[in-house]
Amino acid sequence: MFRLLNRLTLTRQWILATLLAILPLVIAVLYAAQYLMLQAQSQREMVASVGRLNEMDSQISKQISSIERSARQYLLLRTPRFLEIFQQHIEVVLPVLNQLGADLPQSQSAALLQEVIKVIAQELSQTAPELIAQESISANFQQANALARQLSDEVDQRVQEMLDESDLQFEQIMRHLLLIGVFALPGTLLLVVLSSVAVTRPVRRLAYAIRRLGLGHWDEPIQISGPADLRSLGANLEWMRHRLDATEKQKQAFLRHMTHELKTPLAAIVEAGALLRDEVPGPANTAQQQVVSILMSNADNLHVLIQQLLNYNAVAHGMLNADANVDLAALCNRIRTKLMDSRPSSRCEWSISGKPNIIRSDPQALEMILSNLMSNAHDFTPESGRVAVTWGQESDSWWLKVTDNGPGMTPEEREKIFKPFFQGRARRRGPLKGTGLGLAIVQECVAHLQGTIEVTSSAEGSEFTARFPLRREK
C-alpha cells in the first residue's frame, strides 16, 4: 500500500488525502439523504392514510343521515321510491364500512354499525309499511348514530396515533442523523490529521535535512521516503551532502597541512630573529635593532595565528586531553596577565570571581574557551573598559560568563559569530588582528564539553554564557 502511495507525486497524495478526509462526511450526507427520503415517503403515505380515513368517516356520517332520512320518508309516505333510495345508500355505505373496518383492525364499531344497518334494511324490506314498529326503527337509528359517532372518535384517535408515530419516527431519524454527524465529524478530523501527518512527514524530513546541511552537519546521510518527487529531491540533497562533506574534509586537510608546513619556516625565522636580537652574529646599530624588533613582533603574530588554526583543527577532530581538576581563578588570572602584557596601554578594569574555584573538566578545552572569550572582551572594549568573568555551580551543572562593555553586535552578526573566519564590523584593539576562528573554537570546545553557549548583546556590551554538565557522558 505504501509503495503504491510513494509512486504518486506530492500533489496527487494531497488530492487522495483530501478525498479520504471528506469520505466520512460524504457517507453521512448520503445516509442522511436516504433517511430523509424515507421520512418524506412515510409522510406522504401517512397524509394519504389520514385523508382517506377522514374522507370515509365523513362519507359514513353523510350516508347514515341519508339512510335515516330516506327510511323515515318511506315510513311516512309509503312510497316505494324512497325504499329504493334507502337501498342505494346502504349499498354505498356498506363497502365503506368494510374498508374502514380493515383500516381499524382494533375497532368493532364498523362491524356493529354494519349489523345495525342490515337489521334496519331487513325490517324495512321484509315488513309491510303499516306493520313496521316505529319504536324499533327509531331505536336502531339511535344505535346507528351512536356507533357512527363512536366510529368517528376512533378515526380521530387513529389519526392522532398516526401523527404521534410520525413525530416519533422523525425524532428517531433526527437522533440517528445527529449520531452520524457526531461520529462523522471526528472521523473526518482524524483522517485530516492522519493524512496531513502522512503527507507532510517527508516534507518535514526534507526541511530538517536542508537545515542540517545549512548548519554544516554533513555526517548524517539524507534518506527521504514519500512521494516520488520528494525522493528525487532527497537523492539530490544526498549528492550535495557528499560533495560538501568532501569539500570540508579537503579544506580541513589543507589547513592541517598548511599550518604544520608554516610552523617549520616560522621556527627558523624566530630562531634567526632571536640570534639577531641577542647580537650573536655581531653588534647591531639602532636601526637594525628596530628592524629586528619588527621582525620578531610579526613573527609572534604569525605564531599566534598558526596556533589558532592548530587549535581549531584539534577541537574539530576531537584531539583534546582527558578531564582533570582546573583552578578557574588561577587560569583566568594567567590569561588576564598575558592579555594586559600584550597591550601595555590598556587600562581595562577586570573582575574575576566565582565558586567553586576547582572544576573538573578538560583543561585544554577550558583554556581555549576562556582565552578566546577574554581576549575578545579585552580587545573590543575601550582603553578604560570593563571585563567581568564569573562562574557558579547549580544542582547538576555549572556556568561561565564573560561580560564586557564593548560596542556590541547586531542581530545579524550574532547569528554568524560562531562560523569559522567570520568577522564583525567592529575592529579589535591590540597588536594582533583577528582570524575569525576564536568563537568557532569556543563553540567546538563547548560542544566537546557537552555544554551550550548563549550570547546577548546591545550597545552597552556583550555577554557570553556557557553551561556545562558536572558529569559528561563518555
Which of 173, 156, 176, 164 has its CA nearest to residue 40? Answer: 173
Residue 430, pLDDT > 80, answer no
Residue 284, pLDDT > 60, answer yes
**Mean pLDDT computed over 445-467:** 88
Sheet holding 349-354, edge to edge: 349-354, 386-393, 397-404, 461-469, 452-458
For 202-233, the DSSP string reads: HHHHHHHHHHHHHHT--SS-----SSHHHHHH
Q: What pairing do the DSSP bridges indicate for beta strands 452-458 and 397-404?
A: unpaired
Q: Please list the residues that pair with 359 across neighbouring strands.
A: 326
**Which of the four pLDDT bands, split at 50, 70 and 90, describes residue 388?**
very high
- At residue 392, the pLDDT reads 92
Domain 320-469 classification at class level: alpha beta
Residue 182, pLDDT > 50, answer yes
**Which of the four pLDDT bands, split at 50, 70 and 90, describes residue 464?**
very high
Regarding the domain delimited by 2-195, which CATH topology (the fold level of the hierarchy) does it fall under? Four Helix Bundle (Hemerythrin (Met), subunit A) (1.20.120)
- At residue 367, the pLDDT reads 86
Q: Please list the residues that pair with 327 across neighbouring strands.
A: 358
- At residue 26, the pLDDT reads 78
**Which of the four pLDDT bands, split at 50, 70 and 90, describes residue 465?**
very high
Quote the pTM value.
Answer: 0.45
236/227: higher pLDDT: 236
**Mean pLDDT computed over 368-375:** 88
User: pLDDT tens digits, residue range 4-30?
Assistant: 555 666 676 667 767 777 777 777 778
The residue type at 382: P
**Which of the four pLDDT bands, split at 50, 70 and 90, describes residue 432?**
low
Q: What pairing do the DSSP bridges indicate for beta strands 452-458 and 386-393?
A: unpaired
Mean pLDDT of the chain: 79
Which of 342, 367, 373, 355 has its CA nearest to residue 462? Answer: 373
**Which of the four pLDDT bands, split at 50, 70 and 90, describes residue 1?**
very low
